[in-house]
Amino acid sequence: MAFDECPPHPATRKYMQDSVDRTTRWLERCKREMKRLNGREDAINPKQMLFGINQGGTFEDIRIEHAKRIREMDLDGYALGGLAVGESHEEMYRIIEETVPYLPEDKPTYLMGVGTPMNILEAVERGVDFFDCVYPARNGRHGHAYTNHGKMNLQNARYELDDRPLDETCDCPVCRHYSRAYIRHLLKAREMLGLRLMVTHNLYFYNTMMEEIRDAIEKGCFQEYKKKKAEQLEEDHK
């Protein structure tokens, strides 16, 4: 990833424009230096890819103009940065929808720091290819499990004697071998194993969902999959 400035939210239009211009200058310098280094005989990884990061906050026109500028640099991939930093989900979706069409279709598009399972579904629908986020790990450490029947909070007393797995439809090692009650006990006792089990399950859930998304896209039924998955995610966990 080329170095960029992630402006605060909210920011004035002038600050945002100056910040985006600075990010563009850094990207140009980065590309030149990377070319120089990769041209050396002792280059360690001459095939390393370089992604440029689109910025512009929630200023639609600044985002689009910046996307056009970095698209001309023919990079290996393109990222959307500066989102999920305080704006509403609706604003984020709007910016993604307006910006992605100005990035190359034949290059990967990466949404930085996002997000919830629903955020991912909405972003994929708008053309995003991949993601990174602390959600599954951080929320797992706080006792929140993502399942095919909504999000559950293992800190709740109703799971104290619940001998079912976190998700009865999940095939991860945690759901195959441990009960909700046991994991809750570990969390309450501040036993590190509880955190590890929660994170393991959540990562499995996210990875499985991404596999399902790819499969649905290849089969041409992503809209049907998204609708069904969204309904599952909105369920009240029993």
* pLDDT tens-digit series, residues 197-213: 999 999 999 999 999 99
- Calpha distance 193→159 (Å, rounded): 18
Q: How far is CA 236 from CA 33, 44, 151, 231, 232, in A?
A: 52, 51, 8, 10, 9
Say if 5 falls within a structural domain.
Answer: no
Say if 196 falls within a structural domain.
Answer: yes
Per DSSP, what are the bridge partners of residue 51?
77
The answer to whether residues 110 and 92 belong to one domain is yes
Say if 210 falls within a structural domain.
Answer: yes
**Distance of alpha carbon 177 from the chain centroid:** 28
The answer to whether residues 128 and 144 belong to one domain is no
The answer to whether residues 110 and 46 belong to one domain is yes
User: Among residues 133, 149, 182, which one ends one of the domains?
Assistant: 133
User: Among residues 81, 98, 133, which one ends one of the domains?
Assistant: 133
Residue 177 has pLDDT above 70, yes or no: yes
Say if 1 falls within a structural domain.
Answer: no
- Region 19-41: what's the mean pLDDT? 96
- Calpha distance 153→216 (Å, rounded): 29
Q: pLDDT confidence of 235, banded at 50, 70, 90?
A: confident
Q: pTM of this prediction?
A: 0.92
The answer to whether residues 199 and 115 belong to one domain is no
Per DSSP, what are the bridge partners of residue 1?
none
User: Among residues 133, 163, 178, which one ends one of the domains?
Assistant: 133
- Calpha distance 101→105 (Å, rounded): 8
User: What's the confidence (pLDDT) of residue 77?
Assistant: 97
The answer to whether residues 39 and 68 belong to one domain is yes
User: What's the confidence (pLDDT) of residue 237?
Assistant: 61
Say if 6 falls within a structural domain.
Answer: no
The answer to whether residues 19 and 115 belong to one domain is yes
The answer to whether residues 214 and 168 belong to one domain is yes
| Cβ within 8 Å of residue 67, ≥6 positions away | 54, 78, 99, 102, 103
- Calpha distance 233→145 (Å, rounded): 11
Structural domain containing residue 156: 136-233
Say if 3 falls within a structural domain.
Answer: no
The answer to whether residues 197 and 212 belong to one domain is yes
User: What's the confidence (pLDDT) of residue 236?
Assistant: 65
Question: What CATH number has the domain bearing residue 122?
Answer: 3.20.20.70
Say if 110 falls within a structural domain.
Answer: yes
The answer to whether residues 79 and 140 belong to one domain is no
The answer to whether residues 119 and 212 belong to one domain is no
Which of 85, 86, 114, 111 minimizes the C-alpha distance to 100?
A: 111
Return left, alpha or beta for 220; rule: phi > 0 is left, psi -120 to 50 is alpha, else beta: left
Total domain count, the chain: 2
Sheet holding 77-80, edge to edge: 51-54, 77-80, 109-112, 130-132
Indicate the DSSP class of residue 236. Answer: P
Quickly tell me which residue has 């230096």 as its tokens: 33
Say if 102 falls within a structural domain.
Answer: yes
Burial class (CB in 10 A: 0-12, 13-18, 19+), 123: buried
The answer to whether residues 183 and 72 belong to one domain is no
Q: How far is CA 138 from CA 21, 80, 190, in A?
A: 33, 22, 15
Letter for the amino acid at 140?
Answer: G
The answer to whether residues 213 and 105 belong to one domain is no
Residues 133-170 pLDDT 10s: 999 999 999 999 999 999 999 999 999 999 999 999 99
Q: Are 83 and 92 in contact (CB under 8 A)?
A: yes
